[in-house]
Structure 1
Amino acid sequence: MQTDIIDQSLLALLRDDARASTSDLARRLGLSRSTVQSRLNKMLEKGIINGFTVQLGEHYSNSLIRAHVLLILDQKQVGRAQAGLKRISSVTALYAISGTHDMIAMVEAHSTAELNGLLDQIGDLEGIERTTSSVLLETKFER
């Protein structure tokens, strides 16, 4: 989808602080509040902005155990595997990837025991042939 430099600047500001007021965004961009509101509405309508989300605080975020789970799928049951993964709230994202694996799931848990159970739950889903997991030790930066 096509965006101009103003939309791109607006998106960058929202990535830094999705709670910023329209007035604050307008001031920082040197635009009127109504212009910023109009641009936000258009980006929402066009699907450029899909919604607003919560970024977890560093203290809470660091208390979670996160892992990347590489998945090899039965190609005849990809839809079932995706649906099963979507139902697990601890799976925070799912991506199709190239290479020896078919997908990668991002997961988070509050303990290693919970993570172990989560990995078993994922491995038991219809359509999942094999998993390989890597626990994240430290986040260097995140946007």
Structure 2
Amino acid sequence: MQIDDTDRHLIALLAENARAPVAKLARATGLARTTVQARLERLESSGTIGGYTIRKGPGLKPVLSASVLVSVEPRSEAAVVARLKALPGIVRATTTSGRTDLLVEVTAETTEALDALLDRIGEAKGVRSSESLIHLTTKIAR
């Protein structure tokens, strides 16, 4: 499905506030409410908009987060990903190009829990090596 500049504008508005009322989106785009609703339904049914979500505020965010760069033994990626899925605290795992194979985002409530999770990732069968980057201060969050 092709999307146009108006669709992109709607998506950008929803990225800022997924709960924005159709009337507000209509005013911001200069379109009729029924047109905006029809466009949103088309974007949803085509899969361009895959869903709506929330961003957790400070009261709900885990205390600690980190990115883990993981190098995997040859032909072990599927097994490593299956092991990572089973670990609590894994937020996302993404394949990468470059010197590492996976970028794994993790969260934990305490330094002890984060340390244990990082150990479990490094000890997983098929993991050649891992490097942890603990997140300190968020400068941009969209």
TM-score w.r.t. structure 1 length? 0.89
Aligned pair count? 142
Residue in 1 aligned with 2:67? 68
Distance 2:127 2:104 in 1: 12
More helix per residue: 1
The within-5 A match list for 1:1-143 is 2-61=2-61, 64-143=63-142
How far residue 89 of structure 1 moved from its aligned partner, in angstroms, is 4.1
Distance 1:21 1:114 in 2: 40
How far residue 60 of structure 1 moved from its aligned partner, in angstroms, is 4.0
Two-structure CA RMSD over aligned residues (Å): 1.7
What's the CA shift string for 1:1-51, capped at 9, x where partnerless? 532110110011011001112222112211122211211121122221111
Structure 1 gap segments, 5+ residues each:
none
Distance 1:37 1:74 in 2: 49
In 2 relative to 1, CA 88–31 (structure 1 residues): closer, same or farther, beyond 3 Å?
farther
Percent identity between the two aligned chains: 36
Distance 2:82 2:26 in 1: 41
Distance 1:26 1:122 in 2: 47
Distance 1:38 1:89 in 2: 39
TM-score w.r.t. structure 2 length? 0.90
Deviates more, 1:52-61 or 1:9-18: 52-61
Secondary structure, aligned partner of 1:66? strand
